[in-house]
Amino acid sequence: MSGNKKIDAAKHSASYKSTVSDLFLIGLGVISAGFALKGFLVPNKFFDGGITGISLLLHELYHWNLALVIIIINLPFIIVSYFSVSKSFAVKTFVSVLLLGLCLLFVPYPIITSDKLLISIFGGFFVGVGIGLIMRAGSALDGVEVLALYTIKRTSFTITEIILFINVLIFCFAAMKFGMETGLYSVLTYFTASRTIDYVVEGIEAYTGVTIISGESEAIKYRLVNELGRGITIYKGERGYLPGDFEVRADCDIIFTVVTRLELRKLKNLVYQSDPKAFVFANTIKEASGGVVKQLHKH
């Protein structure tokens, strides 16, 4: 029984730490998003994409309270996420949206600048930081992703296509009502925000899958494991089949490994030192777990 109690205590402690960590990220994300809205976008009538963009449009057109608009418009999507995603996701999303509304109501953010380019870049940046941090906490600050997940089951469109379509409508409407310049700057705001979200969510250690085909595979395998500290997977294949020499071929080991973004250049240098003619290609991996995916610490 004592062993079971220790396991339960450990699970409870881990769950508590995870909850505290999630709430901390949500808090930081909400503060950053609120700063972007009140310090950059709202005072200068700039817009973002998604439900936030729709809320900003309604605020400018009808002068409704932005905080209440954001909460009310997101509520249906939070309810949908309760059934289509998970209860935990819906609860954390509701908390995030509610906290953002309270920030917009009560936090006296300063207006930073009236320079349109700075507004687009830094407004989008702080929105992206906020949404990215909240996504890392397993939550969302914008119901458009939930809408896309709900719609994809009923159409042949991808999530990216659905979100892009919604945002095109928002930016076109903004351009018609507030001028082409505002619409174009809003597109720049959205682009900056989306790139920042990718960076915050994936992090500086975003993983990259690398495939290497070389006649010097033994030397490369040794160096990848012992110098770079990476686990590898080997596929059996054939090299050759080149134009003009189609009949020339040879058995080879095809090497696959996973490295961080920062290690990619080091890996390529290592490979080409062993075989300048090696064929190397890489692709981004959204998530990696298990195996040797973290750099080994050397003491």
Domain's final residue, options 202, 229, 250: 202
Q: Which residue has the tokens 């250690």?
A: 205
Pick from 239, 251, 249: nearest CA to 277: 239
**Residues 97, 232: one domain?**
no
Residues 45, 67 within the same domain: yes
Give the model confidence (pLDDT) of 210-254 as tens digits.
999 988 889 999 999 998 888 899 988 887 777 777 677 778 889
Domain annotation covers residue 238: yes
Q: Is residue 298 in a domain?
A: no
- Rounded to an integer, the average pLDDT of 267-288 is 85
31 with 172, same domain? yes
**Both tokens assigned to 216:** 């010097």
Residue-wise pLDDT tens digits, 85-103:
788 888 999 999 999 999 9
Average pLDDT over residues 4-11: 59
Asked if residue 211 and residue 166 are part of one domain, the reply reads no
On whether the CB atoms of residues 197 and 128 are closer than 8 A, the answer is yes
Domain endpoint, select from 202, 224, 259: 202
* Residue of higher predicted confidence among 242 and 198: 198
Residues 24 and 112 both lie in one domain: yes
Residues 170 and 255 in one domain: no
Q: How confident is the model at residue 71 (pLDDT cuts 50, 70, 90)?
A: very high
pLDDT value for 296: 44
pLDDT exceeds 60 at position 267: yes
**Based on the structure, what is the number of domains in the chain?**
2
| Residue 250 confidence (pLDDT) | 79
Question: Is the residue at 81 inside a domain?
Answer: yes
- Report CA Rg, the chain: 24
**Is the alpha carbon torsion for 98, 102, 105, 107 positive or negative?**
negative
Same-domain pairing of 197 and 249: no
Q: Determine, yes or no, domain membership for 82.
A: yes
163 assigned to some structural domain? yes
Indicate the residue among 175, 202, 229 that finishes a domain. Answer: 202
Q: Indicate if 171 and 108 belong to the same structural domain.
A: yes
Instruction: Give φ, ψ of 156 to 5 degrees.
Output: -95, 5
Q: Which tokens go with 214?
A: 């070389």
| Full domain range(s) for residue 275 | 207-285
Tell me: do 24 and 114 sit in the same domain.
Answer: yes
Task: Please indicate, yes or no, whether residues 70 and 146 belong to a single structural domain of this protein.
Answer: yes
> 151 CB contacts (<8 Å, ≥6 apart)?
157, 162
76 pLDDT above the threshold of 60: yes
pLDDT for the residue 164: 77
Per-residue confidence (pLDDT) for residue 25, from 0 to 100: 93
Same domain, yes or no, for 140 and 234?
no
pLDDT tens per residue across span 155-182: 666 656 677 788 888 999 999 989 999 8
Domain membership flag for residue 290: no
Is residue 107 one of the residues assigned to a domain? yes
Is residue 297 in some structural domain? no
For residue 231, the domain's CATH number is 3.30.70.120
Question: Which pLDDT belongs to residue 69?
Answer: 94
Angle at 71 between CA 155 and CA 78, to 5 degrees: 40
For the residues 134-149, what does the mean pLDDT come to?
Answer: 78
Least confident stretch, 23-37, 197-211, 220-234: 197-211
187 and 267 together in one domain? no
φ and ψ of 32, to 5 deg:
-65, -45
Q: How confident is the model at residue 283 (pLDDT cuts 50, 70, 90)?
A: confident
